[in-house]
Amino acid sequence: MQDGLYIRVKQAISWLKRNQGILQKDIADRMGMAEASFTRGLARIKEKNDEDFVISFHSAVSDFISLDYLLHGVGSLVKEEEKVGSRSMTVTNQQLPDMSSVINAALAAKDETIATLNDRIADLQRTIADKEEIIKARKARIAELERQLAAAATSDLSRYPFTIGAADEPKV
């Protein structure tokens, strides 16, 4: 699914906001970019499946979010730290992601896609209308030129005030 990567990142952002109080601007700060750049990065994920942005996003939130889930949808969205002996081991939380968040993210992605397509349709309709006007104007111009050409072809040259070749004669 083309939008799967985008939906999983939106789920992660929603989870971080709801459970950790981390806002999109906070994530952008952690990534060393402006919030507007972060928003454009999200759009690139949707359009081009930009995995590099997702990896950068993950490095900013790696304490909470699973990279395998973000990139491939494998495992759980959230991970927990668990101490085993003297070493630390990351264990993926076995809970399913909140399905209402999944559905909301999917609906939001669908709505954004529909809005984008409607905008493109409106732009194409305006372009077609403009081109139809140009075609109509050119057809009218062609008809006028054909009328003038027909009138010139049937006109009698004897009615002109100068004789043929008058421009070539030397002036005295």
- Work out the angle between the directed axes of helices 99-154 and 4-15 (0-180°, nearest 10): 130
What are the pLDDT digits (tens) for 15-39?
Answer: 998 988 989 899 999 989 998 988 8
| Domain regions of the chain by residue span | 4-95, 103-155
pTM of the model: 0.46
What are the pLDDT digits (tens) for 27-79?
Answer: 999 989 998 988 888 888 888 877 888 888 888 888 888 888 888 888 888 87
Assess whether pLDDT exceeds 60 at residue 1: no
Residue 95 or 15, more confident: 15
Look at domain 4-95 and name its CATH class: mainly alpha
Q: How confident is the model at residue 91 (pLDDT cuts 50, 70, 90)?
A: very low
